[in-house]
Structure 1
Amino acid sequence: MERLRSDGPLSVEAYMDACNAYYYATRDPLGAAGDFTTAPEISQMFGELVGAALTDVWRRAGAPANVRYVELGPGRGTLARDALRVMRSAGLTPPVHLVEISPTLRAAQAALLGEVTHHDHIGDLPCDGPLLVVANEFLDALPIRQHVGGVERHVEWIGDGLAFDRDGEIVESSPSRDEAVRALAEGLVPLGGVALVIDYGHERSAPGDTLQAVRGHRFAPVLADPGENDLTSHVDFQRVGELAREAGAFVAGPAEQGAWLERLGIQARARALANASPDRAGEIEAARARLCRPDQMGSLFKVLAIHAPDWPRPAGL
């Protein structure tokens, strides 16, 4: 409100950036008691298969000894825990580097994972060896710009509440997202390695308003209670791939998350877990269905790999 009074209307980008900066700095938003649940929190199978995919591509790249595990926006560290367990069982024990700015989540990650190195930005990552990178639901939270008829959309105070200053066919872009993808690809090309980008979004660039707010596992009005809702937008995977290729990286995918997990063997893993814990068989199958079924997370979520030219294409893509 102080910024609106002093500076006038805020761009959608500035509004989303301010809201999410406060939101993530002041809470753990994950799980039943939070606002949303990500794939790693649904089942250990998700992180395990990510770890298996990274281990497989590392081996086919010649098993370099100086590789590092990197995760962008790692939440509580659940995905890293499950992926690293699989990687270590296969003889891969990389140092762990996490890009995270939330003090609350940094503390949770350190408590769960032990020795980790935190970074504020992708550009701060080590640059002396290959990187095995996971970005699960990271890009969707980066701020976006919206334009209507070529004019940037803003948030302003009208009457007794917040409102958008214009409506119509919306075209979205995200300089922050573009910068993150470029930094990631430009780092992988000379160092070697691979990044798995997993997020919800569309395979082809298209106009449309995809900005959304979630609170208590339900959609909320985007302009209600600034800083108290999780604001995200759909990732444009065509744009991500184009930027990575422009930086000299190779791109595989995108593939739908459900199909990717099926190709990596999630059904076999679910059977193994159910056989080990028969009383949890229904829970395990429900989790597999939630991750893979087209009417749940299976189709909306996509997987895209960015990899160095001298590294192989990851499995499943």
Structure 2
Amino acid sequence: MTPLAQIIAARIRATGPISIADYMQICLLDSRHGYYATRDPFGAAGDFTTAPEIHQMFGELCGLALAQAWMDQGRPAPFTLAEPGPGRGTLMADILRAIRIVPGMEDATDVALIEASAHLRQVQRKRLGAVRHLKTVDDVGYKPLFLIGNEFIDALPIRQFQMTVEGWRERMVGLTDGKLRIGLGEPVALPRAGRPGDIVEDCPEGAAFVEAVARRIARYGGAAILIDYGGWNGYGDTFQALRHHTPEDPLAHPGEADLTAHVDFAPLAAAAMRAGAQVSAPQRQGDWLRALGAEARAAKLTAAGDAAAAQALHRLTDPAEMGHLFKAIAIWPKGAPAVPGFTALEAHADDA
């Protein structure tokens, strides 16, 4: 057992099984043994590679999309440019470089990073300098908010429920013969249809985060772009672990593997609408990046001697790579122009 597995097992012996949400929270954020508290998980030497680490064009295109939204809303100044879960700071660095070409934008920008890991905060300061770090989106203040979130929601804790002959029961982490195992808790009321064996997932923190972001955008202006892998009103067990770029049992090495789940964009969109903002239909990452000019950007970089640009474009946009699995949604104030590459959800409600 890892040190964190021993701690979790002792807690279960003392108080009983814990939810998958509690298990994820402990594994990822425990101050001594948690995954994000003890390592840099990104890149070839880590456990996974995100889109900003693949090539600079991803961050540049995200930055220019936000820049166009900023101009479309009258160039508000000052404004907050925020990123939750910014990793090494690569995406934000590329965005800041891209928006330098937009007159007046750089001077109006107040950069804020929402990061829970003290270790990653240090990494981000080395990359970006003296940026403002926040604990939650509630701390961003009252300026227009332009926010980018890439692979942030997938790491937030989820709860899982399984349909049985007795109705929905929550899937819990318990102990069997001294080893961590998934079992079922007591029946719970869940307003969702299902057949025996069906599993559904709920990410309360994700919906709460989106609602808080959308509420600020609806009131003060701005825009948000959220990019992650997932779908719409999905069923199934998507709880997963990645260690050394290889999938493994999420219970195998607590604190030493990245834990995530596919994002259900439907409740996120509903949360944004509850907050009074406009939300887009989900777009496939490949389609969205192409709409922003990814192919032209890659061709220009290739002509300038960037040999990696064409391969990066393929990886970011091809349906068999990241192009279809990853989706993006955008949030903006009602009455404002849509964020580039997106259309309002109502226009595609049947296709979402």
With normalisation by structure 1, the TM-score equals 0.96
Paired residue for 1:165, among 180, 183, 208?
183
Q: Is the contact made by 1:51 and 1:84 (CA closer than 8 Å) also made in structure 2? A: yes
Moved more, 268-277 or 166-175: 166-175
Percent of aligned positions that are identical: 46
**Does residue 1:100 correspond to 2:115, yes or no?**
yes
Q: For the residues of structure 2 that align with 1:250 and 1:142, how far apart are their CA atoms? A: 23
Q: Is the contact made by 1:193 and 1:311 (CA closer than 8 Å) also made in structure 2? A: no
1:315 aligned counterpart, secondary structure: coil
Paired residue for 2:283, among 240, 252, 255?
255
Cα distance, 1:310 vs structure 2: 4.1
**Does residue 1:2 correspond to 2:10, yes or no?**
yes
Partner of 2:148: 134
1:133 aligned counterpart, secondary structure: strand
Q: Is the contact made by 2:154 and 2:263 (CA closer than 8 Å) also made in structure 1? A: yes
State how 1:28-47 maps to structure 2 within 5 Å: 28-47=40-59
Partner of 2:169: 151
State how 1:281-300 maps to structure 2 within 5 Å: 281=307, 283-300=308-325
Q: Is the contact made by 1:70 and 1:131 (CA closer than 8 Å) also made in structure 2? A: yes
Aligned-pair Cα RMSD in Å: 1.2
Q: For the residues of structure 2 that align with 1:82 and 1:96, how far apart are their CA atoms? A: 13
2:91 aligned counterpart, secondary structure: helix
Q: For the residues of structure 1 that align with 2:203 and 2:95, how far apart are their CA atoms? A: 29
Q: Is the contact made by 2:208 and 2:271 (CA closer than 8 Å) also made in structure 1? A: no
**Does residue 1:237 correspond to 2:262, yes or no?**
no
2:237 aligned counterpart, secondary structure: coil
Deviations 1:131-150 (A, max 9, x none): 11001100000000011121
**What is the one-letter code of the residue matched to 1:312?**
P
Q: Is the contact made by 1:214 and 1:220 (CA closer than 8 Å) also made in structure 2? A: yes
With normalisation by structure 2, the TM-score equals 0.86
Q: Is the contact made by 1:147 and 1:171 (CA closer than 8 Å) also made in structure 2? A: yes
Cα distance, 1:271 vs structure 2: 1.1
Paired residue for 2:302, among 245, 269, 274?
274
Partner of 1:183: 212
Q: Is the contact made by 2:173 and 2:181 (CA closer than 8 Å) also made in structure 1? A: yes
Partner of 1:88: 100
Cα distance, 1:250 vs structure 2: 0.2
Deviations 1:147-182 (A, max 9, x none): 112111111110141111149321111111121111
**Does residue 1:305 correspond to 2:305, yes or no?**
no
2:282 aligned counterpart, secondary structure: strand
Q: For the residues of structure 1 that align with 2:38 and 2:59, how far apart are their CA atoms? A: 26
**What is the one-letter code of the residue matched to 1:138?**
F
Paired residue for 2:20, among 9, 12, 17?
12
2:147 aligned counterpart, secondary structure: strand
Q: Is the contact made by 2:279 and 2:332 (CA closer than 8 Å) also made in structure 1? A: yes
**What is the one-letter code of the residue matched to 1:14?**
D
Q: How many residues align?
A: 312
Runs of 4+ in 1 over 6 A off after TM superposition: none
1:70 aligned counterpart, secondary structure: strand
Cα distance, 1:186 vs structure 2: 1.3
**What is the one-letter code of the residue matched to 1:110?**
R
Q: Is the contact made by 1:192 and 1:310 (CA closer than 8 Å) also made in structure 2? A: no
Cα distance, 1:9 vs structure 2: 0.9
Partner of 1:209: 237
Moved more, 66-75 or 168-177: 168-177
Partner of 2:348: none
